[in-house]
Amino acid sequence: SFPLCSICLPSFVIICEVTPAMLKEKLHALENNPKLAPLIQFIKFGLVGVSNTLISYAVEMLCYYVLFASVGWSENTKIIVTSLLSFIISVTNAYYWNSRHVFAKEGVQSFRQRFVTYLKTVGCYALTGLLLAPWLKTLLVAHSVAYWLASLLTLLVTIPLNFLMNKLWAFK
């Protein structure tokens, strides 16, 4: 065990010791609480989403500024190929973590079952990220909403929708 915190008070010291096993036990208890399980699952989905965003951005910057910097492609081709690669890599990351920690199934799945789930995951992210998000942003901007705000408002629709599509369809 390791000391996580200690608070010194005038007459005594309170020492809180938390071990990784204790944290795992507490998380397991939260996940098995029927009232909190959906919230915990959504939080996990959100954490996967944060990692996807970071991975997508890193891949995009690496491709654009390093891998394709001196390739003789047009600017549009470079952007399209870079966007496609970052999308595929980040969705593959999402599938990996979601299938193991967010929507994990008991038992062994065949390669075919996992592949179909992967394709459904790609479909969910394509629908929300490549079709719905640009459409909503365009609609909002056309109604005088600033682009930065339109992007944030779009997330309020696409994140919960993506969660529901993954939960109720892709990983069902």
List pLDDT tens digits, range 116-166: 999 999 999 999 988 999 999 999 999 999 998 999 999 999 999 999 999
Q: Which two tokens stand for residue 46?
A: 């959100």
- Give start and end residues of each alpha helix (H) in the chain: 20-31, 37-62, 75-97, 111-125, 133-142, 147-165
Q: In which residue ranges of the chain is pLDDT below 50?
A: 1-15
pLDDT score at 9: 45
CA separation for the pair 122, 169 (Å, rounded): 12
Nearest-angstrom CA–CA distance, 67 and 42: 35
User: Considering the entire predicted model, what is its pTM?
Assistant: 0.76
CB atoms within 10 A of CB 117: 21
The confidence score (pLDDT) of residue 16 equals 54
Instruction: Output the pLDDT for position 45.
Output: 94
Alpha-carbon gap, residue 95 to 129, rounded angstroms: 15
CA distance 118 to 111: 10
pLDDT of amino acid 93: 95
Q: How far apart are CA 10 and CA 51, in angstroms?
A: 43
As a residue count, the chain comes to: 172
pLDDT on residue 17: 67
CB burial of residue 155 (10 Å; 0-12, 13-18, 19+): middle
The helix/strand/coil state of 93 is helix
Rg of the chain, C-alpha, whole Å: 21
